Amino acid sequence: MSKSRKRKRLLQDDGGDSKSPACNGSTISGGDPYPELLRPTVDECRDVRDALLSLHGFPPEFASYRRQRLRSLDGHDTQCSVDSDEEEESVLDGLVKILLSQNTTEANSQRAFASLKAAFPKWEDVSSPILGFDMVLVAEPNSVENAIRCGGLAPKKTVCIKNILSRLQKERGSLCLEYLRVLTVEEVKTELSHFKGIGPKTVSCVLMFNLQHNDFPVDTHVFEISKALGWVPKTADRNRTYVHLNHRIPDELKFDLNCLLYTHGKLCSNCKKNAARPKAKVASPDDCPLLGFSGLV
């Protein structure tokens, strides 16, 4: 695959081109693009969540983020909580994980992140003003690429990660994104949009998973199922889908519903995106409970 096609795939996975208006917040934060479309309703959102929860249970890969969210909603400081042995993921770790997850399987992205942290355990050595050569920022690109190669698109992702670290070091003097925790949603979007290679889906994932905001990322699975359900028009793009769903879906349902739609999209043969063949019809709604909802019957 050519470099230009690889770049296109990477950008499409994040919902757009970093040069598009969608990535600087102008369309991400605008008004509902489909104000006359009164779906999904609150009841639809709740029923879909409940149906998928009964089928799949809550996805274990998102359980730690859910516990952090619940502690945050309960008013506890998750960074300083003494009631849990679970260490909270740093915002920078979370951002890099999301970047590594693009255009690859979950297993491969997890291996890539584990390999990166094994090769470069710390983003910086806070005990010394001089960065060591075991830090990603000053490491040779080939070394970083080798560490994350199993996740695919290693050269492109390496450039993106090193650009983020370079900008942080230059503008803030520290390789840390914890300052985002005290910013508003719009401030976070504006701040992260300044980093090359970070698009709207990545920003939304950081908001939902690492900052415990009520946001609703739109990845390929969520996008395809939302169109199939009739929650957005067939002609909708991912940015407009993101804006519409964030207007329509109640805040208290966003996290669970998003995680479940993503999981279902990966597992259900009826709902998987595959443009090369017609969607297979399952024998019973017991196999795909979404068949019972308008748009998928």
Q: Under the phi-then-psi rule, with left for phi > 0, alpha for psi from -120 to 50, and beta for the rest, what region is 57?
A: left
Q: Is 201 marked active-site?
A: yes
Pick the catalytic residue: 3, 201, 234, 273? Answer: 201
Cα separation, 117 vs 130, whole angstroms: 20
Cα–Cα nearest to 152, from 291, 297, 13: 13
DSSP helix/strand/coil, 233 = coil
SS3 for 138? helix
Assign residue 23 a region (left: φ > 0; alpha: ψ between -120 and 50; beta: otherwise): alpha
Distant-in-sequence, close-in-space partners of 288: CB < 8 Å, separation ≥ 6: 268, 270, 271, 282, 296
Q: Which residues contact 207 (CB under 8 A, 6 or more apart)?
A: 185, 188, 189, 213, 215
CA torsion through residues 100, 163, 139, 128, sign:
negative
Tokens of 125: 């050595």
Query: Catalytic residue positions?
Result: 201
